[in-house]
Structure 1
Amino acid sequence: MLKGIKLRLYPSKLQQAQLLQMFGNNRFVWNQMLAMAKQRYKNNPSSHFVNGYQMDALLKRLKQEYPFLKESDSTSLQVANHNLAQSFKMLFKHQGGYPRFKSRHTVKQSYTGKSTISVVAKRYLKLPKLGIIKSSKTTQLTDCKVKRYTVSYDQTGRYYLSLQVETDEPALLPKTGKTVGLDMGIADLAISSDGEKFSTFNAKWLEKQSTIWQSKYSKRKYQATVAVRQWNHNHKDFKMEIDDYQNWQRARRRKARYQQRIANQRKDYLHKLTTDLVKQYDVIVIEDLKTKNLR
């Protein structure tokens, strides 16, 4: 069976620079192929669509013209082409919008590859082009085969490795012969047919801190925007950008970390709750209702 594993990465300063380059390379290939497809259609609307395999054939010429693309895992560039081709297929089926160009200003960056990843020591992995990198919980990778991996950088300033692995099917849970029905509520998360109430997730302190830092972030970004406009208006020879002001970026990372802690704790709470229910009951029946529609 296939399952997902997410690990934390701790890259060195050199590896962080390499990752920044690899994120940019994937974004560059996506934008180049998208621009080519738009220009091709503009020149000849009746021309055939360039699929993912044809895009992969263009990668060799692209690497000759832009040698910095060789610093990336070659399979990650192929995955970028595949994702773009899939976006166009969804567009042709009227199941999605037209693909957009990717911006380097997007906080969350990532790339996906299909190369081999190996565990070299406890909490150390070997990734293509990056070499040996420190990680967490490598014991989860025993007795499984990595099919695909994704390295990501989120708005909290942390790096993660998401793995799609192939492993043996887990052992079945013992039968209990019990059945339960769940009634979704507003005051309570759910109420079972046995009369047990499951409370909603509560993280008041974290939510308060998140609100405070969200306000600080908005104020600091506004102040930085005003300062940049005033500077650029008075100094024509040297232009500044809002990214040159680190105060609002520190607030952005702080509020993002509070928001992520809330999301992680909520996910952990729901995962433990559902796991307990699955272990206790063989059949679980849930009403087909949306809480927001209850009046």
Structure 2
Amino acid sequence: MGRGDLTDAEWARLEPHLPKNVGRGGRWRDHRVVISGILFRQRTGTPWRDLPTRFGKWKTVHDRHRRWSADGTWDRILRAVQADADTEGRIDWSVVSVDSTVCRVHQHAAGARHRSAPVPGCRRRPVQHRPDEAMGRSRGGLTTKIHLTSDGGCRPLSILITPGQWGDAPHLIPVLERIRVPRPTGGHPRTRPGHLCGDKAYSSRRNRCYLRRRHIQHTIPERRDQRANRQRRGSRGGRPAGFDRALYTRRNEVERTINALKGFRAVATRYDKRAFVFHGTVAVAAIRLWIR
């Protein structure tokens, strides 16, 4: 077993949730060897073609990761290991934190492009990046943003991939609605945290109304311009938002979760051209954090 490969304890938690060798064609190569190869690439950021030969053919490892990213297998495995952790009481639902982080897009990942309409007076059509590939352009170049929520144990509960220049507040509701931890004993999946912490980037009337409607207590500081606007309106501006400074200090848990995810170099820098493949890359890193 090489450094970073799946240990026996991790494999025991992961194996029951993997797809079986059924269907047309030949049998799949051993899942443990292939997943260890995927994790090697996640940890080192090496090109697929440069994988060590002990993992088998590089194309077998690459194709399985791409296939499982496309059909949602990685997401299903992530929910399954979360369900196991919830059954064992290892998920801290008391305080869930939300935040986002920006990842640089490597130049080799900037190939999923489309040609836009011709510009009058220009001989060539400008080449733009596809809007559905979660790539945004800013001063630093192409970037992708990862929105996520984490439990008190510094492990991701939900993941959302968007272009890097998109704001945080409009994506609070989508990333919260992706929290779905199944209950093996039956019943609806767990979707509601006990308390939510977020920075002032998530402060908006729409988000606060949504959280009140779902009966989710929250600690989100009010932005200065929003506070001034509320005070200017007097009694019509409503009451000030509650803020618990002691609970707000636990927002460092999502920051530590981001640091753990970016310990995988293929997450810190996006090498995948397609958004669904990069989403699978982040999901694999999240699965590794849950089964440790």
Same fold by TM-score, threshold 0.5 exceeded? Answer: no
Counting strand residues as a fraction of each chain, which structure ranks higher?
Answer: 1
Range of TM-score over shorter length: under 0.3
TM-score normalised by the chain length of structure 1: 0.23
TM-score normalised by the chain length of structure 2: 0.23
Higher relative contact order (CA 8 A, sep 6+): 2
